[in-house]
Amino acid sequence: MNVRIAPSVLSADLGRLKEAMAAIERGGAEWIHVDVMDGRFVPNLTFGAPLIRALKKVSNLPLDVHLMVAEPEKYIEEYADLGAAVFTFHPEATLHVQRQLARVRERGMGAGLALNPASPIGLIEEVVDDLDLVLVMSVNPGFGGQRYIEASSDKIRRVRALLNARQSPAVLEVDGGITAATIRPAWEAGADTFVAGTAVFGEADPARAIQKLKQACTIAV
């Protein structure tokens, strides 16, 4: 299994978007993670379609869009038209989760569900076959720069077991507090894709920071 890094644009300097995206491409980032927040589902407000449009102009990397919004279904059409690759939402944010997952796939995007630290794995159990990605939140969503919640590693292990038992090829992504120190336990627990904001854009050399994250998973100890 390969390590996939998805730097979170939330921590990038939006005034220098082009340079920031060039740096992460140089460092070998596979995806760009886009945190859409509405000030209702989470206590913070960020960006939406205009930033996705801007990112499309400066990078060819797939856009991994994470919607921390109420009624995420309102954005499926628009984000598909803008060229988002993955559309991930929280199951508590909408009433008919399976219908929305199917709509996301019909529009040609990967369908993802995100689990908050207190959200039980049971929320995804009945829809495993409708999923292309499971996002385990290792912080409570809303802000970058928080600490990795240790219990997340055990949850990742249980999600991995569920995906294996159901022979699901879904991506298992972790989001929040990922650093060169916390990425290893998350990787060993079975995650394959890692969102990193502060650990990439908070460093003087984001390209090198991505390489260090990957090495932290692969070096023998």
Residues carrying an active site annotation:
35, 175
Q: Is residue 64 part of the contact set for Zn ion (CB under 5 A)?
A: no
Instruction: Provide φ and ψ at 46, rounded to 5°.
Output: -125, -115
Pick what 177 binds: ligand DX5, Zn ion, none; C-beta below 5 to 8 Å, kind-dependent: ligand DX5
Cα–Cα distance between 8 and 107 in angstroms, integer? 24
The site map against ligand DX5 for 137-166 (x = CB under 6 A) is --x-xxxxxx--------------------
Question: What is the per-residue burial (b if ≥16 Cβ within 10 Å, else e) of 28-54?
Answer: ebbbbbbbbbbeebbeeebbbeebbeb
Q: Tokens 């995100």 map to which residue?
A: 114
Q: How far is the CB of 70 from Zn ion (least distance, A)?
A: 16
Helices 49-58, 17-27: crossing angle, 10 deg rounding: 60
Q: Which stretch, 31-39, 74-82, 116-124, 145-153, contacts Zn ion (CB under 5 A)?
A: 31-39
66 binds Zn ion (CB under 5 A): yes
What string marks each residue from 47 to 76 as x (binds ligand DX5 by CB under 6 A) or -? -------------------x----------
x/- mask, ligand DX5, residues 93-132, rule CB under 6 A, reads ----------------------------------------
Residue with tokens 């856009």: 63
| Closest alpha carbon to 196 in 67, 25, 9 | 9
